[in-house]
Amino acid sequence: MYLTADPRTHAPRSSVAASYGVVQLSPAFWFKIYNKPTITYDACVRYLTKEETNSDLTQVPAAHAASLKFLFAKKEFTQRHPACAFWWVFWDDLYNSNLAIGKIARNGELLDSSKPSAIAFKPMQREQLEAVLKEAGLYGTKGWCGDRFCCCFVPMLIDSAVLDTLYSGMSHYTDGTPFEEKGCKSL
């Protein structure tokens, strides 16, 4: 499916929907909701219940209240400070780019940013992060595996070089100030 712009409203529309003559969202949605990154949860609910013309969407605040609240919590977290956004994007990308790796997929509760329990919403100091990742079997280095007769050179999924990248990026946005002081605290 390809997105195209409706020439009358300049709003994106699906070519599949357009071919069937289906209108999913009113033109006002794009102006009042989609293009307003600072919209509040209450303003969104007010729009969906009072102004949206698609009857399916008017039910979203009631039928999917928890999901809508989580969406706005995610938005609020990533907009607190650029360091928060960097932290979230790092973990979201790590998870979604490596889903084919079984150990990553099996640790969805910890790594999947579509879940409130994800590490993407819990910025922490490096030592604490290393402990959390070790406990999940996701952090380490290649080297001695515990057998006195063999040395295992199995690379770990997340090692010190990966965390160096994360914390180097975080320091770019915090100027060396602890990111907690910049408002980048857990969701």
User: Is 12:30 a contact under the CB 8 Å cutoff?
Assistant: yes
Residue in 122, 145, 142, 144 with CA at minimum distance from that of residue 132? 122
Q: Sorting pLDDT into bands at 50, 70 and 90, what band is 23?
A: low
CB atoms within 10 A of CB 104: 20
Output 97 or 144, whichever has higher pLDDT.
Answer: 97
Residue 181: pLDDT above 60?
yes
pLDDT in tens, 51-99: 998 888 899 999 999 999 999 999 999 998 899 999 999 999 999 998 8
Residue in 109, 69, 73, 111 with CA at minimum distance from that of residue 92? 111
The pLDDT score that the predictor gives to residue 53 is: 87
Residue 144: pLDDT above 70?
no
Average the pLDDT over 35-53 and give the result: 93
Place of tokens 């100027």: 175
Cα 99 from Cα 68, distance rounded (Å) = 25
Residue 4: pLDDT above 50?
no
Residue 7: pLDDT above 60?
no
Structure-block tokens of residue 111? 């790594």
Place of tokens 């290649």: 142
User: Is 11:27 a contact under the CB 8 Å cutoff?
Assistant: yes
Residue 3: pLDDT above 50?
no
